A = this chain, B = another copy of it.
Amino acid sequence: MLKPNRHYQDLTENYLFSEIARRVAAFKEANPAARVISMGIGDVTLPLCPAVTDAMGKAVAEMGDPATFQGYPPAVGYDFLKSAIARYYAERGIPVTERDVFVSDGAKSDTGNITDLFDNDNVVLIPDPVYPVYLDSNVMLGRTVRLIDATEENGYLPLPDERTEGDIIYLCSPNNPTGAVYTREGLKAWVDFALKNGSVILFDAAYEAFVRDPALPRSIYEIEGARACAIEFCSFSKTAGFTGTRCGYTIVPAELEAGGMNLSRMWLRRQSTKYNGTAYIVQRGAAAVFSPEGHAQTRANLRYYLDNARLIMAFLDKKGIPYTGGECSPYIWLKCPDGCTSWEFFDRLLNTAAVVGTPGSGFGRNGEGRFRLTSFGSREGTLEALDRLDALL
C-alpha cells in the first residue's frame, strides 16, 4: 500500500496572491470604469533586450540546421555560459571559478532542490518575513524549521547571537520582500557563525544586480571564509528579464564539504540524475547578457526599475512613511500608516485609489502592519499611482 509523503499536510496554503486576485476582481466588478494599477507584482515588465533576442534567434536557427543542431546539453551548463559567469565574478575580484558554476532553469528550482543534499535531521534557520519557498520546501521534508526575527529594530537584517541555532541558514540579500541589503560586516557575522558551527549558508543573490552601492556586497564570496560554508543562488530573472525564459545558476565551491562529503560532487550527481540541463537556446540568451551590448542593455532596464523605486521612495519620504529597500532593490517595504494592518491598508489603497500592493503579513508574522510595493511597473503607471496616493495619504 503506497504511503504518501504526509509532510505535505503540514504545508499551510498560502492564499496571499489568490486572495489579492479575488479582492481585485471583486473591486473591478463593482467599479468597471476604474483603471487598476498594480504595484504588487514581483514580475518584470520590460521585454528581453535585443542582444538576448538576437542570440536566441540565432540559436533557434542553429537548432534547425543539421550542421549546428544541439542534442542533450551538459547537465550543469555549457562551457560558454559557465565561463562567462565565472568572468562576471572574476571581474569583481570574487574567488569563483568555472568549476564552481552550475547552470539551471532558475534559482527557485535550485533553492528547492538543494534540500536533497542534506539529512532531514538538521535545524533549518529562516528569517521571517521570508520568500515562501525556503519554508515550504523544508516543511515538505518534515524538517525542524526555526524562524529568526527580521524586524524594524534590526533593519530587517537579523544577525546571529549566542542563542542562534541553525545547520542550514537561508539568507536573501537584497531581500525579498523587505528590500534590505546586508553590509559586508553583517554577512561576515553569518559566515563566522557558519564556520564556527559547521553550518551551511544558502545565500539567495537573485537581486544582486540591483545593488548600486559599491560598499554593499553582491556575493557572499566577497566575505573571507565563505567558500568553506556557503552556496549562492543567482538568476537571470530580474537581472535580465528572464522570468519567462528560465535560467539561473548556483555556485557550489568545489571544495565545500559537510561531514566528510563533498557538496559540489553531490550537487553534480543530483543534477545529473534528476535534471537534464538547460535548453541550448536559453543558455545562448543568458550568455548574451554578459556581452558588452547585453550588459549595457540589461543595465539600462535595471536603471529604469530603480528610477521607479526612487520615485516611490521620494513620495514616502515626503509623506513621512518609514520604509526599507528601494535604494538597491526593486522592493519597497513600508510601514502601514495610521496603525493599519496589512490587509486594511491593502483595502484602503484598492478601494480609494485603485492601486494594488502586497500585504506584508503574507510573508510571515513579522510582516503584519507592513506592505510591499514594487518598482517593476511602467513609469507612467508608477507616476499615476503615486498621484492617486498623494490625494489619499
Contacts and interface: CB of A to CB of B under 8 A. Distances in A.
A183 interface: no
B63 A47 contact: yes
Contact of A274 (B66, B117, B137, B277): B137
A25 interface: no
Contact of A266 (B5, B49, B63, B277): B5
Contact of A63 (B106, B245, B278): B245
Interface in A7-49: 8-9, 11, 43-49
Interface stretch (A196-204, A348-356, A365-373): A196-204
Contact of A122 (B2, B71, B72, B274): B2
A270 B109 CA distance: 10
Contacts of A391: none
Q: In the assembly, how many copies of this chain are there? A: 2
Contact of A273 (B56, B64, B136): B136
B63 A2 contact: no
B116 A140 contact: yes
Interface stretch (A148-156, A172-180, A255-263, A312-320): A255-263
B46 A269 contact: no
A88 interface: no
7 contacts: A1-B197, A1-B198, A3-B258, A4-B259, A5-B116, A46-B66, A116-B140
